Amino acid sequence: MSAGHTAVTITPGVDHSADLVISCETPQDECGVRDVLDRLGDKWSVYVMVELTGGVRRFKELQRLIPGDISQRMLTLTVRRLERDGLVKRTVYPTIPPQVEYELTDMGRNLSHLIKAIADWSIGHRAPIAEARAAFDARLEAQ
């Protein structure tokens, strides 16, 4: 599957309209999926969004809560990207030093439900995935 391919392969002559997951007008039309996957596919965005589901967070608090030792620069880039996409709202208070808070927008909260669904699916399928990987690895070793 190419990076730009988002269409679902179907059998000619069979009505698959109820089975379609993604339907784009043309192969070049990515239906916005690529933008969302680029954002959620990076290393830190999902972690930031998960932590922001707990409510408003200050920068350092957010940095402490994210597992994996995110640098200040990477957190800054990540929240800026999420803000640019309309998923995070940044509020700066005119204090010395400036106080900055981050929170999910309505659109970000809406997306967080989908992230939770993916996380739940992942947890529920952890054992079968591990079994499939072990079976695959065993087949490779046997060759």
CATH of domain 33-142: 1.10.10.10
Where do the structural domains in the chain lie, given as residue ranges?
A: 1-31, 33-142
What is the DSSP secondary-structure string of 56-117? -EEHHHHHHHSTT---HHHHHHHHHHHHHTTSEEEEEE--SSPEEEEEE-HHHHHHHHHHHH
pTM of this structure: 0.71
62-102 pLDDT tens trace = 999 998 889 999 999 999 999 999 999 999 999 998 899 99
Torsion angle, CA of 126/37/6/114, rounded to 10 degrees? 60
20-55 pLDDT tens trace = 555 666 665 566 677 777 777 888 999 999 999 999
